[in-house]
Amino acid sequence: MKGNGHFWPAYVDMMTVLLLVYLLISMIFQVLLIVAQQNVGVKLSAQQQVEIHAVPQGSKLNELRMMLDVNQNYLGSKNKKELISWLEKYKDDIEKNGVVIYAASKEGKQIGVNLTLQYDRCLEVLRTMQQYEISTQKVTINNSSVNIFPEDFAAIYLKSPSDVPVKNEEMSTSDRAARIENNGGNPASVGGV
């Protein structure tokens, strides 16, 4: 080395500049990432609002409600016996029109927990139907909203014949005329005349 020139002070200055550039670029990317995540979160929360509604106290016609304990996602022996006898009683109607399965729970749980419990309970009813060889082709699981009720339950009820789509060839002229009258005289709502 010539004279008083030292290598280390220049090296340290160069490394300090590189470190500062790295920190500046890292902070810029972190800020961009945080802003992007907040925007996505706002969009998701606006799009996926879950409806919460109270289930009426009275049950529907031909409905079976099976009361369950809090956080219970399986049917007990009593509920299973009731379900099996209900399924046997309405087997022909289930084959013809189908059923709707839904569940409800008490207020106070997180929305995700409620929806998971409801779905597990509905699947338990569906599983029982499959075990006893009841047709599940016309089953509707109604789990699009959080159902609130003073007690936890799973329920099943028959679809009304007007809820079941019928092909034009299968419908008699008198049935077609009755449906047109029920639908306000609009033949298009029953598949045309």
- Residue closest to 162 by CA, chosen among 134, 191, 190: 190
Q: What is the pLDDT of residues 69-119, one digit of tens each?
A: 877 878 888 989 999 999 999 888 888 888 988 888 887 777 778 888 888
Domains, in order of start, for the chain: 53-159 (3.30.1330.60), 162-193 (no CATH)
Question: Which of the 8 DSSP states describes residue 6?
Answer: -
Confidence of residue 25 (pLDDT cuts 50, 70, 90): very high
Read off the tokens for 97.
Answer: 């029109």
pLDDT of residue 49: 57
CA atoms within 13 A on the CB side of 73: 11
